[in-house]
Amino acid sequence: MANVTVLSQHVCFGGRQLFVGHESFSCNAPMRFSIYLPPASDLGRVPAVMCLAGLTCTEETFATKAGAQRWAAECGLALIMPDTSPRGLNLPGDSDHWDFGVGAGFYVDATEPPWSQHYRMYRYVTQELVDLVAAEFPIRKEKLGILGHSMGGHGALVCGLRNPDVFQSISAFAPVVAPMVCPWGQKAFSHYLGKERESWRHWDACELVRSGISTNAEILVDVGLADKFLTTQLMPEKLEEVCARSGQSLKLRRHAGYDHSYYFITTFVEDHLRHHARYLT
């Protein structure tokens, strides 16, 4: 594996959980990701699901908290779990706030300095990492899905909608669906993309669907009704409305009592992986 360094690996449900480092040309910085290879990968290439984590998370978060490996092994799916931003760059202000900068790349390609030199997470997720894992691991590049949580849910929706040739299935837990009108998104976009709001539309799932961009696959979204960010940051009803108007197939499930945490994710992650398996296997 000339292009990656395996930092650690662990046997898990008969497969292998690896943590990997490499030099990223998209981010112009060292990057890390984790990858779960199910038992089926010992026999040949397998489909995979890109799993995008949320604010403050790393490449370890989904791997250690979601409980997804059990179901990935059963479904014959690999899991690809990137970090949420470049790290160790010490850009001005990159560590001042938990919801911006380090751990908060928002899966966009920044256009404003100093972020534009390194914060190119969209290109990293949709191009570089896809090519890298297909070259270095037994992954079927033509059979990829994408899911995410919170900020990562925003990333999954935007990356999936804009790249139907790359991702054949999409799902999200508690996604930020309309970042142009929520505080998290406005903060990130104004710094990464500048003050001209028209350019933000390319990075907003609701605006993409409103403009006619769609996917043939049904999008699965789960939200918890006890999520403290539901009304102020997530606003799932906005995605529901634009999908209904445009004809984009959406299954939006609301769950009483569940919050924003990984306890919510681990409860329903089996459903999400089986959703992806319908399209990928």
Provide the token pair at 166. 């790359």
Active-site residue, 227 included: yes
What torsion do the CA atoms of 241, 243, 249, 251 make, to the nearest 10 degrees? -40
Is 194 exposed, middle or buried (CB count within 10 Å of its CB: 0-12, 13-18, 19+)?
Answer: middle
Radius of gyration for the alpha carbons in the chain, expressed in angstroms and rounded:
17
Provide the token pair at 272. 């999400």
SS3 for 72? helix
Per DSSP (E only), the strands in the chain are: 5-12, 15-24, 29-37, 46-52, 78-82, 139-149, 169-173, 219-224, 250-255
**Count of residues for the chain?**
281
**Catalytic annotation, pick one of 26, 227, 272, 276:** 227
**Catalytic annotation, pick one of 149, 154, 191, 260:** 260
Cα–Cα distance measured from residue 172 to residue 101, given in angstroms and rounded to the nearest whole number: 22
Provide the token pair at 63. 């791997």
**Catalytic annotation, pick one of 34, 85, 150, 169:** 150
Is residue 114 reached through a cis peptide bond, with omega within 30 degrees of 0 on the bond before it?
yes
Query: Is 30 within 8 Å of 59 (Cβ atoms)?
Result: no
Active-site residue, 271 included: no
Active-site residue, 42 included: no
Cα–Cα distance measured from residue 34 to residue 215, given in angstroms and rounded to the nearest whole number: 27
Cα–Cα distance measured from residue 111 to residue 238, given in angstroms and rounded to the nearest whole number: 27
Which of the residues are catalytic? 150, 227, 260
